[in-house]
A and B are shown apart, each in its own frame.
Chain A
Amino acid sequence: MPEEKEIRLGHRDFLGWILKGGIAVTLVGFIFPAITYLLPLTHQAPVGSMIDVGMEGDIPIGTAKKIISGGKVILVVHMASGFKAFSAICTHLGCIVDWDDKKHRIACPCHAGFFNPEDGTVISGPPPKPLLSYSIKVVNGRVMVTV
Protein backbone atom coordinates (compact mmCIF):
# COMPACT_ATOMS: atom_id res chain seq x y z
CA MET A 1 0.00 0.00 0.00
CA PRO A 2 2.60 2.63 0.92
CA GLU A 3 4.43 1.82 -2.31
CA GLU A 4 1.34 2.52 -4.34
CA LYS A 5 0.80 5.80 -2.59
CA GLU A 6 4.33 6.90 -3.34
CA ILE A 7 3.98 6.13 -7.01
CA ARG A 8 0.75 8.06 -7.11
CA LEU A 9 2.36 10.95 -5.32
CA GLY A 10 5.18 10.96 -7.85
CA HIS A 11 2.65 11.01 -10.62
CA ARG A 12 0.78 13.79 -8.86
CA ASP A 13 3.91 15.75 -8.55
CA PHE A 14 4.46 15.55 -12.28
CA LEU A 15 0.93 16.82 -12.87
CA GLY A 16 1.59 19.53 -10.32
CA TRP A 17 4.59 20.73 -12.29
CA ILE A 18 2.56 20.86 -15.51
CA LEU A 19 -0.18 22.76 -13.71
CA LYS A 20 2.20 25.24 -12.16
CA GLY A 21 4.07 25.72 -15.41
CA GLY A 22 0.83 26.02 -17.35
CA ILE A 23 -0.53 28.66 -15.03
CA ALA A 24 2.73 30.58 -15.27
CA VAL A 25 2.61 30.34 -19.08
CA THR A 26 -1.00 31.53 -19.03
CA LEU A 27 -0.13 34.53 -16.88
CA VAL A 28 2.82 35.46 -19.07
CA GLY A 29 0.58 34.92 -22.09
CA PHE A 30 -1.83 37.47 -20.67
CA ILE A 31 0.60 40.06 -19.45
CA PHE A 32 3.21 40.06 -22.19
CA PRO A 33 0.87 40.83 -25.14
CA ALA A 34 -0.82 43.52 -23.06
CA ILE A 35 2.53 45.22 -22.52
CA THR A 36 3.40 45.05 -26.22
CA TYR A 37 -0.03 46.52 -26.96
CA LEU A 38 0.79 49.40 -24.67
CA LEU A 39 4.20 50.12 -26.20
CA PRO A 40 4.20 53.63 -27.62
CA LEU A 41 3.80 53.62 -31.37
CA THR A 42 6.25 55.39 -33.58
CA HIS A 43 3.35 55.82 -35.97
CA GLN A 44 1.25 58.90 -35.66
CA ALA A 45 -1.82 58.15 -33.60
CA PRO A 46 -5.01 59.87 -34.71
CA VAL A 47 -4.65 63.23 -33.00
CA GLY A 48 -8.19 64.23 -33.61
CA SER A 49 -8.48 64.61 -37.31
CA MET A 50 -5.08 66.30 -37.37
CA ILE A 51 -2.12 64.98 -39.24
CA ASP A 52 1.36 65.94 -38.13
CA VAL A 53 3.24 66.93 -41.26
CA GLY A 54 6.53 67.67 -39.57
CA MET A 55 8.59 70.57 -38.29
CA GLU A 56 8.12 73.98 -39.80
CA GLY A 57 11.80 74.13 -40.76
CA ASP A 58 11.60 70.87 -42.71
CA ILE A 59 9.63 72.58 -45.45
CA PRO A 60 11.38 75.81 -46.49
CA ILE A 61 9.39 78.52 -48.22
CA GLY A 62 8.79 77.70 -51.85
CA THR A 63 8.85 73.94 -51.36
CA ALA A 64 6.23 71.33 -50.73
CA LYS A 65 5.81 67.97 -49.07
CA LYS A 66 3.55 65.10 -50.02
CA ILE A 67 2.11 62.96 -47.25
CA ILE A 68 -0.02 59.86 -47.33
CA SER A 69 -2.29 59.33 -44.37
CA GLY A 70 -5.48 57.39 -43.88
CA GLY A 71 -5.88 56.69 -47.58
CA LYS A 72 -5.54 60.36 -48.40
CA VAL A 73 -2.71 61.99 -50.31
CA ILE A 74 -2.10 65.52 -49.15
CA LEU A 75 0.22 68.12 -50.62
CA VAL A 76 1.51 70.67 -48.15
CA VAL A 77 2.99 73.78 -49.74
CA HIS A 78 4.96 76.41 -47.89
CA MET A 79 4.21 79.77 -49.50
CA ALA A 80 5.46 83.16 -48.40
CA SER A 81 1.93 83.77 -47.14
CA GLY A 82 2.05 80.64 -44.99
CA PHE A 83 1.37 76.93 -45.20
CA LYS A 84 -1.31 75.57 -47.52
CA ALA A 85 -2.65 72.03 -47.74
CA PHE A 86 -4.50 70.48 -50.65
CA SER A 87 -5.78 67.08 -51.58
CA ALA A 88 -3.18 65.87 -54.06
CA ILE A 89 -5.79 64.18 -56.20
CA CYS A 90 -6.20 66.06 -59.48
CA THR A 91 -9.80 66.91 -60.27
CA HIS A 92 -9.36 65.86 -63.88
CA LEU A 93 -8.57 62.13 -63.93
CA GLY A 94 -7.40 61.60 -60.38
CA CYS A 95 -3.64 61.69 -60.88
CA ILE A 96 -1.51 62.73 -57.94
CA VAL A 97 -0.38 66.31 -58.38
CA ASP A 98 3.07 67.51 -57.45
CA TRP A 99 4.90 70.70 -56.66
CA ASP A 100 6.61 72.30 -59.67
CA ASP A 101 9.81 73.73 -58.26
CA LYS A 102 10.60 75.98 -61.20
CA LYS A 103 7.18 77.39 -61.94
CA HIS A 104 6.14 77.57 -58.29
CA ARG A 105 2.82 75.99 -59.14
CA ILE A 106 1.08 72.78 -58.34
CA ALA A 107 1.33 70.68 -61.46
CA CYS A 108 -0.40 67.52 -62.54
CA PRO A 109 2.06 65.27 -64.36
CA CYS A 110 -0.60 63.57 -66.46
CA HIS A 111 -2.18 66.34 -68.52
CA ALA A 112 -0.28 69.46 -67.58
CA GLY A 113 -2.96 70.90 -65.36
CA PHE A 114 -1.67 73.70 -63.18
CA PHE A 115 -3.12 74.87 -59.90
CA ASN A 116 -2.61 78.02 -57.90
CA PRO A 117 -0.74 77.07 -54.71
CA GLU A 118 -2.43 79.90 -52.80
CA ASP A 119 -5.98 78.59 -53.07
CA GLY A 120 -5.89 75.50 -55.30
CA THR A 121 -7.76 77.10 -58.19
CA VAL A 122 -7.08 75.95 -61.73
CA ILE A 123 -4.60 78.13 -63.59
CA SER A 124 -4.55 76.16 -66.80
CA GLY A 125 -5.19 72.75 -68.24
CA PRO A 126 -8.05 70.33 -68.24
CA PRO A 127 -8.95 70.10 -64.50
CA PRO A 128 -12.57 71.20 -64.17
CA LYS A 129 -12.47 72.11 -60.48
CA PRO A 130 -9.99 73.51 -57.98
CA LEU A 131 -8.13 71.17 -55.66
CA LEU A 132 -9.84 70.35 -52.39
CA SER A 133 -8.08 72.32 -49.68
CA TYR A 134 -7.57 71.47 -46.02
CA SER A 135 -7.04 73.82 -43.17
CA ILE A 136 -3.49 73.90 -41.87
CA LYS A 137 -1.98 75.31 -38.73
CA VAL A 138 1.45 75.71 -37.24
CA VAL A 139 1.48 74.87 -33.55
CA ASN A 140 4.78 75.24 -31.67
CA GLY A 141 6.70 74.82 -34.90
CA ARG A 142 4.81 71.69 -35.89
CA VAL A 143 2.75 71.80 -39.06
CA MET A 144 -0.66 70.22 -38.55
CA VAL A 145 -3.25 69.54 -41.23
CA THR A 146 -6.88 69.08 -40.29
CA VAL A 147 -8.57 66.53 -42.51
Chain B
Amino acid sequence: MSKDKIITWLGERFDLGKIQELIGKQVNKPLPKNIGWLHTLGSMSLFLFVSQVITGILLLIYYRATVNEAFESIKFIMTKPYLGWLYRQVHAWGANLMIMVVFLHMLRTFFMGSFKKPRELTWVLGVFLFIFTLIFGFTGYLLPWNQLAYWATTVGTEIAGAVPIIGEWIKVFLRGGTSVGGETLSRFFVVHVIILPWLVFFMIGVHLLLVRMQGISTMERVDEEKKLQMGEGTPFFPHHILKEGIVFYLLIGILITLSILMPFELGEKADPLQTPHAIKPEWYFLPMYQVLKYLPKLLGILILGIAPLLLIVWPFLDKTKARHPGKRPVSVGIGITMVILIIIFGLLGYWAESKRIIFGKEYEFDVYGKPHRIFHETKK
Protein backbone atom coordinates (compact mmCIF):
# COMPACT_ATOMS: atom_id res chain seq x y z
CA MET B 1 0.00 0.00 0.00
CA SER B 2 2.53 2.49 1.19
CA LYS B 3 5.05 0.92 -1.15
CA ASP B 4 2.77 1.66 -4.11
CA LYS B 5 2.31 5.19 -2.86
CA ILE B 6 6.02 5.80 -2.74
CA ILE B 7 6.45 4.37 -6.21
CA THR B 8 3.72 6.57 -7.65
CA TRP B 9 5.14 9.57 -5.79
CA LEU B 10 8.57 8.91 -7.27
CA GLY B 11 7.04 8.05 -10.65
CA GLU B 12 5.44 11.45 -10.87
CA ARG B 13 8.86 13.03 -10.54
CA PHE B 14 11.29 10.67 -12.22
CA ASP B 15 11.22 8.45 -15.28
CA LEU B 16 11.29 5.25 -13.24
CA GLY B 17 11.14 3.03 -16.28
CA LYS B 18 14.32 4.44 -17.65
CA ILE B 19 16.13 4.20 -14.34
CA GLN B 20 14.96 0.62 -13.91
CA GLU B 21 16.21 -0.19 -17.37
CA LEU B 22 19.56 1.39 -16.64
CA ILE B 23 20.01 -0.47 -13.37
CA GLY B 24 18.76 -3.67 -14.91
CA LYS B 25 21.23 -3.36 -17.71
CA GLN B 26 24.07 -2.95 -15.28
CA VAL B 27 22.89 -5.68 -12.96
CA ASN B 28 22.20 -8.23 -15.64
CA LYS B 29 25.20 -7.33 -17.70
CA PRO B 30 26.76 -10.57 -18.89
CA LEU B 31 30.38 -11.23 -17.98
CA PRO B 32 32.63 -13.34 -20.18
CA LYS B 33 32.89 -17.04 -19.49
CA ASN B 34 36.55 -16.86 -18.51
CA ILE B 35 35.78 -14.88 -15.42
CA GLY B 36 37.25 -16.70 -12.42
CA TRP B 37 38.22 -16.23 -8.81
CA LEU B 38 41.14 -14.00 -9.77
CA HIS B 39 38.64 -11.52 -11.16
CA THR B 40 37.38 -10.86 -7.63
CA LEU B 41 40.69 -9.17 -6.73
CA GLY B 42 39.37 -5.88 -8.06
CA SER B 43 36.27 -5.90 -5.93
CA MET B 44 38.37 -7.09 -2.98
CA SER B 45 40.45 -3.95 -3.41
CA LEU B 46 37.27 -1.92 -3.47
CA PHE B 47 35.95 -3.67 -0.38
CA LEU B 48 39.22 -3.00 1.45
CA PHE B 49 39.08 0.65 0.43
CA VAL B 50 35.56 0.95 1.82
CA SER B 51 36.64 -0.86 4.98
CA GLN B 52 39.58 1.52 5.35
CA VAL B 53 37.30 4.52 4.92
CA ILE B 54 34.84 3.29 7.54
CA THR B 55 37.42 2.21 10.12
CA GLY B 56 39.39 5.36 9.33
CA ILE B 57 36.39 7.55 10.10
CA LEU B 58 35.86 5.68 13.35
CA LEU B 59 39.49 6.14 14.33
CA LEU B 60 39.32 9.83 13.46
CA ILE B 61 36.72 10.29 16.15
CA TYR B 62 39.31 9.80 18.88
CA TYR B 63 42.59 10.44 17.03
CA ARG B 64 44.45 13.72 17.53
CA ALA B 65 47.14 14.63 15.04
CA THR B 66 49.60 16.48 17.24
CA VAL B 67 53.02 15.44 18.43
CA ASN B 68 51.95 15.48 22.06
CA GLU B 69 48.68 13.69 21.63
CA ALA B 70 48.92 11.34 18.65
CA PHE B 71 50.54 8.46 20.49
CA GLU B 72 48.38 8.90 23.57
CA SER B 73 45.19 9.12 21.56
CA ILE B 74 45.99 5.86 19.75
CA LYS B 75 46.68 4.29 23.10
CA PHE B 76 43.35 5.66 24.25
CA ILE B 77 41.60 4.15 21.24
CA MET B 78 43.21 0.80 21.97
CA THR B 79 42.22 0.74 25.62
CA LYS B 80 39.15 2.79 26.38
CA PRO B 81 36.39 2.87 23.72
CA TYR B 82 34.54 -0.39 23.20
CA LEU B 83 36.19 -2.37 20.38
CA GLY B 84 38.55 0.52 19.69
CA TRP B 85 41.43 -1.93 19.52
CA LEU B 86 39.62 -3.88 16.82
CA TYR B 87 39.06 -0.87 14.60
CA ARG B 88 42.69 0.12 14.83
CA GLN B 89 43.89 -3.39 14.08
CA VAL B 90 41.45 -3.84 11.19
CA HIS B 91 42.59 -0.49 9.80
CA ALA B 92 46.27 -1.44 10.11
CA TRP B 93 45.84 -4.93 8.70
CA GLY B 94 43.42 -3.63 6.07
CA ALA B 95 46.13 -1.28 4.84
CA ASN B 96 48.62 -4.12 4.49
CA LEU B 97 46.11 -6.41 2.83
CA MET B 98 44.97 -3.63 0.50
CA ILE B 99 48.48 -3.09 -0.79
CA MET B 100 48.84 -6.80 -1.35
CA VAL B 101 45.46 -7.21 -3.04
CA VAL B 102 45.88 -4.16 -5.26
CA PHE B 103 49.27 -5.44 -6.33
CA LEU B 104 47.86 -8.90 -7.08
CA HIS B 105 45.02 -7.28 -9.03
CA MET B 106 47.64 -5.45 -11.09
CA LEU B 107 49.58 -8.65 -11.69
CA ARG B 108 46.43 -10.42 -12.88
CA THR B 109 45.72 -7.59 -15.29
CA PHE B 110 49.28 -7.73 -16.53
CA PHE B 111 49.55 -11.46 -17.05
CA MET B 112 46.10 -11.82 -18.62
CA GLY B 113 46.86 -8.96 -20.98
CA SER B 114 43.71 -7.14 -19.88
CA PHE B 115 45.51 -3.81 -20.05
CA LYS B 116 45.70 -3.94 -23.84
CA LYS B 117 43.56 -2.01 -26.24
CA PRO B 118 40.95 -0.71 -25.57
CA ARG B 119 41.62 -0.71 -21.81
CA GLU B 120 44.90 1.23 -21.65
CA LEU B 121 43.40 4.12 -19.66
CA THR B 122 41.89 1.75 -17.09
CA TRP B 123 45.41 0.38 -16.58
CA VAL B 124 46.94 3.85 -16.25
CA LEU B 125 44.34 4.77 -13.65
CA GLY B 126 45.02 1.47 -11.92
CA VAL B 127 48.75 2.15 -11.70
CA PHE B 128 48.00 5.53 -10.17
CA LEU B 129 45.63 3.87 -7.72
CA PHE B 130 48.41 1.46 -6.75
CA ILE B 131 50.86 4.32 -6.22
CA PHE B 132 48.29 6.20 -4.17
CA THR B 133 47.65 3.11 -2.07
CA LEU B 134 51.38 3.04 -1.30
CA ILE B 135 51.31 6.72 -0.34
CA PHE B 136 48.27 5.94 1.82
CA GLY B 137 50.40 3.37 3.59
CA PHE B 138 53.40 5.67 3.91
CA THR B 139 51.45 8.60 5.33
CA GLY B 140 49.28 6.46 7.58
CA TYR B 141 52.26 4.69 9.07
CA LEU B 142 53.51 7.90 10.70
CA LEU B 143 50.23 8.78 12.39
CA PRO B 144 50.57 6.64 15.56
CA TRP B 145 53.76 8.62 16.21
CA ASN B 146 55.69 5.72 17.67
CA GLN B 147 59.39 5.00 17.36
CA LEU B 148 59.02 2.67 14.37
CA ALA B 149 56.84 5.14 12.52
CA TYR B 150 59.01 8.11 13.28
CA TRP B 151 62.22 6.52 12.09
CA ALA B 152 60.70 4.76 9.09
CA THR B 153 59.40 8.16 7.99
CA THR B 154 62.76 9.77 8.62
CA VAL B 155 64.45 7.17 6.44
CA GLY B 156 61.69 7.30 3.83
CA THR B 157 61.81 11.05 3.38
CA GLU B 158 65.62 10.93 3.42
CA ILE B 159 65.45 9.03 0.13
CA ALA B 160 63.77 12.01 -1.49
CA GLY B 161 66.77 14.08 -0.47
CA ALA B 162 68.94 12.05 -2.83
CA VAL B 163 67.20 13.44 -5.90
CA PRO B 164 69.68 15.76 -7.65
CA ILE B 165 69.27 19.54 -7.28
CA ILE B 166 65.71 19.68 -5.97
CA GLY B 167 66.08 16.70 -3.61
CA GLU B 168 66.81 18.68 -0.50
CA TRP B 169 63.92 20.99 -1.25
CA ILE B 170 61.53 18.07 -1.75
CA LYS B 171 62.69 16.50 1.48
CA VAL B 172 62.10 19.66 3.48
CA PHE B 173 58.78 20.16 1.67
CA LEU B 174 57.61 16.65 2.56
CA ARG B 175 58.68 17.02 6.16
CA GLY B 176 57.50 20.58 6.55
CA GLY B 177 60.84 21.29 8.16
CA THR B 178 64.39 20.05 8.24
CA SER B 179 63.50 17.05 10.37
CA VAL B 180 60.43 14.94 10.98
CA GLY B 181 58.27 16.68 13.55
CA GLY B 182 54.87 18.14 14.27
CA GLU B 183 54.69 19.75 10.84
CA THR B 184 55.34 16.42 9.18
CA LEU B 185 52.57 14.82 11.22
CA SER B 186 50.09 17.52 10.15
CA ARG B 187 51.06 17.22 6.50
CA PHE B 188 50.87 13.46 6.44
CA PHE B 189 47.57 13.60 8.31
CA VAL B 190 46.00 15.93 5.79
CA VAL B 191 47.24 13.86 2.87
CA HIS B 192 46.06 10.66 4.53
CA VAL B 193 42.56 11.69 5.55
CA ILE B 194 41.54 14.42 3.13
CA ILE B 195 43.49 14.51 -0.10
CA LEU B 196 44.08 10.85 -0.85
CA PRO B 197 40.67 9.48 0.14
CA TRP B 198 38.80 11.83 -2.19
CA LEU B 199 41.36 11.48 -4.96
CA VAL B 200 41.23 7.71 -4.75
CA PHE B 201 37.45 7.75 -4.43
CA PHE B 202 36.99 9.61 -7.72
CA MET B 203 39.69 7.63 -9.46
CA ILE B 204 38.05 4.39 -8.40
CA GLY B 205 34.79 5.81 -9.76
CA VAL B 206 36.30 6.47 -13.17
CA HIS B 207 38.18 3.16 -13.09
CA LEU B 208 34.93 1.27 -12.43
CA LEU B 209 33.01 3.29 -15.00
CA LEU B 210 35.60 2.34 -17.61
CA VAL B 211 35.41 -1.31 -16.56
CA ARG B 212 31.60 -1.32 -16.85
CA MET B 213 31.64 0.55 -20.16
CA GLN B 214 34.26 -1.57 -21.84
CA GLY B 215 33.38 -4.82 -20.16
CA ILE B 216 35.69 -7.40 -18.66
CA SER B 217 38.51 -8.42 -20.94
CA THR B 218 38.56 -11.89 -22.41
CA MET B 219 41.57 -13.90 -23.50
CA GLU B 220 40.93 -13.20 -27.16
CA ARG B 221 43.35 -11.21 -29.23
CA VAL B 222 43.10 -7.47 -29.38
CA ASP B 223 40.38 -6.22 -31.79
CA GLU B 224 38.97 -9.74 -32.03
CA GLU B 225 36.85 -9.62 -28.89
CA LYS B 226 33.24 -10.54 -29.42
CA LYS B 227 30.64 -8.42 -27.76
CA LEU B 228 28.52 -10.49 -25.41
CA GLN B 229 24.80 -10.47 -25.93
CA MET B 230 22.26 -10.61 -23.10
CA GLY B 231 21.90 -14.17 -21.93
CA GLU B 232 25.39 -15.13 -22.97
CA GLY B 233 28.31 -15.58 -20.58
CA THR B 234 27.78 -15.40 -16.85
CA PRO B 235 25.35 -12.80 -15.56
CA PHE B 236 26.80 -10.28 -13.12
CA PHE B 237 23.77 -10.79 -10.94
CA PRO B 238 23.33 -13.07 -9.20
CA HIS B 239 26.13 -15.40 -10.39
CA HIS B 240 29.17 -13.23 -10.00
CA ILE B 241 27.80 -11.33 -7.00
CA LEU B 242 27.55 -14.63 -5.12
CA LYS B 243 31.21 -15.30 -5.74
CA GLU B 244 32.07 -11.83 -4.60
CA GLY B 245 30.01 -12.46 -1.48
CA ILE B 246 32.08 -15.53 -0.71
CA VAL B 247 35.30 -13.57 -1.13
CA PHE B 248 33.88 -10.73 0.95
CA TYR B 249 33.16 -13.00 3.93
CA LEU B 250 36.52 -14.69 3.58
CA LEU B 251 38.26 -11.34 3.64
CA ILE B 252 36.36 -10.17 6.72
CA GLY B 253 37.34 -13.41 8.42
CA ILE B 254 40.99 -12.99 7.52
CA LEU B 255 41.00 -9.35 8.64
CA ILE B 256 39.46 -10.06 12.02
CA THR B 257 41.61 -13.14 12.56
CA LEU B 258 44.83 -11.27 11.83
CA SER B 259 43.68 -8.41 14.02
CA ILE B 260 43.09 -10.69 16.97
CA LEU B 261 45.92 -13.17 16.59
CA MET B 262 48.67 -10.92 15.22
CA PRO B 263 47.91 -7.42 16.51
CA PHE B 264 50.16 -4.51 15.62
CA GLU B 265 51.75 -3.33 18.82
CA LEU B 266 51.97 0.34 19.49
CA GLY B 267 55.50 0.19 20.86
CA GLU B 268 57.18 3.24 22.29
CA LYS B 269 56.40 6.86 21.66
CA ALA B 270 58.57 8.56 19.05
CA ASP B 271 61.82 9.85 20.49
CA PRO B 272 63.85 11.97 18.07
CA LEU B 273 66.90 11.64 20.31
CA GLN B 274 67.03 7.87 20.30
CA THR B 275 67.68 6.08 17.03
CA PRO B 276 66.68 2.44 17.20
CA HIS B 277 68.89 -0.26 15.69
CA ALA B 278 68.27 -1.23 12.06
CA ILE B 279 65.57 1.19 10.98
CA LYS B 280 63.51 -0.19 8.15
CA PRO B 281 60.54 1.05 6.20
CA GLU B 282 57.33 -0.97 5.95
CA TRP B 283 57.57 -4.27 4.10
CA TYR B 284 56.05 -2.88 0.90
CA PHE B 285 58.88 -0.38 0.57
CA LEU B 286 61.61 -2.84 1.52
CA PRO B 287 62.47 -3.98 -2.05
CA MET B 288 62.94 -0.35 -3.14
CA TYR B 289 64.88 0.48 -0.01
CA GLN B 290 67.18 -2.48 -0.50
CA VAL B 291 67.81 -1.66 -4.19
CA LEU B 292 68.95 1.80 -3.15
CA LYS B 293 71.61 0.31 -0.90
CA TYR B 294 73.42 -1.46 -3.76
CA LEU B 295 73.36 1.33 -6.29
CA PRO B 296 75.06 4.70 -6.35
CA LYS B 297 72.61 7.29 -5.06
CA LEU B 298 71.82 8.90 -8.41
CA LEU B 299 71.38 5.66 -10.31
CA GLY B 300 69.17 4.27 -7.58
CA ILE B 301 66.89 7.27 -7.61
CA LEU B 302 66.78 7.13 -11.41
CA ILE B 303 65.72 3.50 -11.43
CA LEU B 304 63.14 4.03 -8.71
CA GLY B 305 61.79 7.00 -10.64
CA ILE B 306 61.62 5.11 -13.90
CA ALA B 307 59.86 2.04 -12.47
CA PRO B 308 56.42 3.63 -11.95
CA LEU B 309 56.75 5.56 -15.21
CA LEU B 310 57.41 2.32 -17.03
CA LEU B 311 54.33 0.79 -15.44
CA ILE B 312 52.19 3.73 -16.53
CA VAL B 313 53.30 3.70 -20.15
CA TRP B 314 53.50 -0.08 -20.46
CA PRO B 315 50.28 -0.47 -22.53
CA PHE B 316 51.72 1.99 -25.05
CA LEU B 317 55.01 0.12 -25.29
CA ASP B 318 53.57 -3.36 -25.54
CA LYS B 319 51.20 -3.14 -28.47
CA THR B 320 51.17 -6.82 -29.39
CA LYS B 321 47.80 -8.33 -30.04
CA ALA B 322 47.98 -11.52 -28.00
CA ARG B 323 46.47 -11.58 -24.53
CA HIS B 324 47.01 -15.16 -23.46
CA PRO B 325 50.14 -15.33 -21.28
CA GLY B 326 51.30 -18.43 -23.13
CA LYS B 327 51.46 -16.43 -26.32
CA ARG B 328 53.49 -13.50 -25.03
CA PRO B 329 56.64 -15.07 -23.61
CA VAL B 330 58.67 -11.85 -23.57
CA SER B 331 56.36 -9.67 -21.50
CA VAL B 332 55.39 -12.55 -19.24
CA GLY B 333 59.09 -13.25 -18.79
CA ILE B 334 59.74 -9.62 -17.86
CA GLY B 335 56.80 -9.68 -15.48
CA ILE B 336 57.93 -12.86 -13.73
CA THR B 337 61.50 -11.55 -13.48
CA MET B 338 60.29 -8.35 -11.91
CA VAL B 339 58.14 -10.20 -9.37
CA ILE B 340 61.05 -12.48 -8.47
CA LEU B 341 63.39 -9.49 -8.15
CA ILE B 342 60.91 -7.71 -5.91
CA ILE B 343 60.61 -10.79 -3.71
CA ILE B 344 64.41 -11.29 -3.58
CA PHE B 345 65.15 -7.67 -2.72
CA GLY B 346 62.31 -7.64 -0.24
CA LEU B 347 63.70 -10.70 1.50
CA LEU B 348 67.24 -9.27 1.49
CA GLY B 349 65.87 -6.09 3.00
CA TYR B 350 63.99 -8.12 5.57
CA TRP B 351 67.07 -10.12 6.51
CA ALA B 352 69.47 -7.20 6.50
CA GLU B 353 70.85 -6.13 9.86
CA SER B 354 69.38 -9.06 11.73
CA LYS B 355 70.55 -12.29 13.29
CA ARG B 356 68.97 -15.54 12.28
CA ILE B 357 69.53 -19.22 12.93
CA ILE B 358 69.55 -21.29 9.77
CA PHE B 359 69.98 -25.06 10.04
CA GLY B 360 71.27 -24.68 13.58
CA LYS B 361 73.95 -22.21 12.55
CA GLU B 362 73.80 -18.61 13.56
CA TYR B 363 74.24 -15.99 10.88
CA GLU B 364 74.38 -12.25 11.02
CA PHE B 365 73.15 -10.42 7.95
CA ASP B 366 74.86 -7.14 7.15
CA VAL B 367 73.29 -4.02 5.67
CA TYR B 368 73.38 -5.59 2.20
CA GLY B 369 71.66 -8.75 3.40
CA LYS B 370 74.87 -10.77 3.09
CA PRO B 371 75.09 -13.48 5.74
CA HIS B 372 78.12 -13.79 8.00
CA ARG B 373 78.48 -16.87 10.13
CA ILE B 374 78.81 -16.13 13.81
CA PHE B 375 81.28 -18.31 15.64
CA HIS B 376 80.85 -18.44 19.35
CA GLU B 377 83.80 -19.06 21.61
CA THR B 378 83.41 -22.72 22.42
CA LYS B 379 83.75 -23.45 26.08
CA LYS B 380 86.31 -26.08 26.90
Contacts and interface: CB of A to CB of B under 8 A. Distances in A.
A binds B: yes
Interface of A: 33-34, 36-39, 41, 43, 45-46, 48-49, 70
Given A34-B58, A45-B62, A46-B76, A39 B69 contact: no
Interface stretch (B78-86, B115-123, B187-195): B78-86
Classify chain B: how many residues form its interface, as a range: 10 to 19
A37 B64 contact: no
By secondary structure, the A interface counts as loop
A45 B76 CA distance: 8
A49 B269 CA distance: 14
Given A33-B86, A34-B58, A41 B72 contact: no
A34 B86 CA distance: 10
7 contacts: A33-B86, A34-B58, A39-B81, A43-B80, A46-B64, A46-B72, A46-B76
A49 B69 contact: yes
B68 A36 contact: no
A37 B87 contact: yes
Nearest to A19: B245
B61 interface: yes
Nearest to A22: B249
Contact of B69 (A36, A38, A48): A48
A41 B81 contact: yes
B309 to A, nearest CB: 40
Contact of B81 (A37, A46, A48, A49): A37
Contacts of B72: 46, 49, 70
A62 to B, nearest CB: 33
A45 B86 CA distance: 19
Nearest to B84: A37
B354 interface: no
B73 interface: yes
Contacts of A37: 58, 61, 81-84, 87
A48 B68 CA distance: 7
Given A37-B84, A46-B76, A48-B68, 18 more contacts: A33-B82, A33-B83, A33-B86, A34-B54, A36-B83, A37-B58, A37-B82, A37-B87, A38-B61, A39-B81, A43-B80, A45-B76, A46-B64, A46-B69, A46-B72, A49-B68, A49-B72, A70-B72
